[in-house]
Amino acid sequence: MILSASIVGSGELVATTALGAEAGFVLLWLVVFSTFVKVAVQIELARWTIATGQPAITGFNKVPPRIGPLGWINVLWVLLALSKLLQLGGIVGGTAIAFSTLMPIGGDPLGFTSILAWTCFVAVGSIALLWSNRYTLIERGAMLLVVVFTFVTVLIALGLPLTPFAYDGAALAGGLTFLIPAGALGAALAMFGITGVGADEITFYTYWCLEKGYARWTGPNDGSDEWARRARGWIRVMYKDALVSWVIYTFGTLAFYLMGASVLHPQGLVPEGNETITTLSRLYTDVLGTWASVVFLIGAIAVLGSTMWASIPSWSRMYTNVLALFGVLDWHDPVARLRWIRIFTVALPLIWAAAYLTIQSPVVMVQIGGVATGIFLFAAVVAVWWLRRHETDPRLHGGRTFTVLLVVSSVAIGLLGVYTMLDVFGVTPG
């Protein structure tokens, strides 16, 4: 559920809906493809973590060649982390705008005074929440709201054929033609990188496999059949994680895309700037009436807030792991590790808030993070195969069907990663 809360957020509510609003139904196939194709990579990296008791950043650093103290993949991860400052800033901003629209301060809900006040509240409140160790209470509440909000959105999307914003079989079929309109290429690449289980979720899921005890209860590999049996048992638990979260975010992603394509696209409405949340609220109000605005805003706060609250402890652990690679601390020293995690727990929300107040364009900020994520996915695939070959006990490898799925996923991610890099550097793929 932590994984689901982190996934069902900016990618689904902002990037996916914006893509539907911009391109219509034509990219429906990419939404389905994006949510499905990355699961095998997530599972394989988590399998390695359960087998070795090590987190992803440590594993990435083993893949040659190295550049100083960092492997080349972790050099890319540092660049990804910088882009994620913008993406998480966009999430902080989106949450603040939703709060401000719901309860404006100083009159104008989109005025700087109200936005500033709520941005500070979101950042400082998140720090206080996590520092007080009362995260579990909010986590459960946010989980419930995310599930309810996603369920309601799915129901609305399924009910659209009964409204003035109806879609039909021809529209859905047109979305399965495997085309990417030139004008929507950037938004499509961002959506692929950020929807479903992205490179950052693939990476920090390994930390939760450690935190939740999957690797600890498996124990060190002593070569025995008993160890292999325990490992396979916890890997089966991890498979259930992946399956449940996949079902939740796939239905949520499809619903948000369908609503963007059906409700916003025909009206020429594309979420942008500080009007992002206001525009997105039309998904509910245009279909159900103005009374639904409050429901949407509460749901948006839950979806974006839960992503932020899950991201703070996750990114804090990854940053701390990178510092350990530089020799700043001993990763295996729990006191030092916790101290640095707490430092980042305070610093990151403040940095994200400052990034949003500087740029104030949640959609663009989220899309920048999505493009960087798409590029890093390629590096994550390379790492997964290297670690599988050199470190994962062969007794724990997936069966033939899973291996075929992993190969297909890897090839697809690799091709799109190369395509993304070419597009970023202005090279037209031929």
Query: Any idea where the domains of the chain sit in the sequence?
Result: 2-424
The conformation of residue 165, written as its DSSP 8-state character, comes to T
Kindly report, residue by residue over 99-113, the tens digit of the pLDDT. Answer: 999 999 988 888 999
Structure tokens at 429: 């793929």
Q: Are the C-beta atoms of residues 198 and 377 closer than 8 Å to each other?
A: yes
Kindly report, residue by residue over 269-283, the tens digit of the pLDDT. Answer: 888 777 878 888 888
Give me the pLDDT at residue 214, please: 92
Structure tokens at 428: 């037209």
Summary mean pLDDT of the chain? 85
Could you tell me the pLDDT band of residue 386, with boundaries at 50, 70 and 90? very high
Residue 88 has pLDDT above 60, yes or no: yes
Could you tell me the pLDDT band of residue 324, with boundaries at 50, 70 and 90? very high
Kindly report, residue by residue over 314-323, the tens digit of the pLDDT. Answer: 899 999 999 9
Distance of CA 384 to the CA centre of its chain: 19
Q: Are the C-beta atoms of residues 116 and 353 closer than 8 Å to each other?
A: no
Select the more confidently predicted residue: 29 or 181. 29
Lowest mean pLDDT among 128-132, 145-149, 174-178, 363-367: 145-149
Select the more confidently predicted residue: 123 or 131. 123
Residue 154 has pLDDT above 60, yes or no: yes
- SS3 call for 66: strand
Could you tell me the pLDDT band of residue 123, with boundaries at 50, 70 and 90? very high
Residue 243 has pLDDT above 80, yes or no: yes
Q: May I ask the CATH architecture of the domain 2-424?
A: Orthogonal Bundle (1.10)
Residue 251 has pLDDT above 70, yes or no: yes
Q: Are the C-beta atoms of residues 16 and 25 closer than 8 Å to each other?
A: no
Give me the pLDDT at residue 14, please: 74
Lowest mean pLDDT among 149-163, 217-231, 327-341: 149-163
Residue 430 has pLDDT above 60, yes or no: no
Residue 286 CA to residue 284 CA, distance in Å, equals 6
Residue 72 has pLDDT above 60, yes or no: yes
The average pLDDT across 238-258 equals: 86
Q: Do you know the residue count of the chain?
A: 430
Q: Are the C-beta atoms of residues 391 and 52 closer than 8 Å to each other?
A: yes
Give me the pLDDT at residue 2, please: 60
Residue 276 CA to residue 14 CA, distance in Å, equals 8
What are phi and psi for residue 165, nearest 5 degrees? -105, 40
Residue 58 has pLDDT above 90, yes or no: yes
Select the more confidently predicted residue: 306 or 347. 347
Could you tell me the pLDDT band of residue 141, with boundaries at 50, 70 and 90? low
The average pLDDT across 171-187 equals: 76
What whole-number percentage of the chain has pLDDT above 90?
38
Kind and range of the H or E element at 70? strand 70-71
Lowest mean pLDDT among 32-46, 128-142, 206-220: 128-142
Residue 52 has pLDDT above 60, yes or no: yes
What are phi and psi for residue 106, nearest 5 degrees? 90, 15
Residue 8 has pLDDT above 70, yes or no: no
Residue 268 has pLDDT above 80, yes or no: yes
Give which of 38, 27, 343, 289 is closest to 174, Cα–Cα. Answer: 27
The average pLDDT across 51-80 equals: 93
Q: What is the pTM of this model?
A: 0.83
Kindly report, residue by residue over 334-384, the tens digit of the pLDDT. Answer: 999 999 999 999 999 999 999 999 988 887 887 787 777 777 888 999 999
Q: Measured between alpha carbons, how far apart are the two ends of the chain, in Å?
A: 42
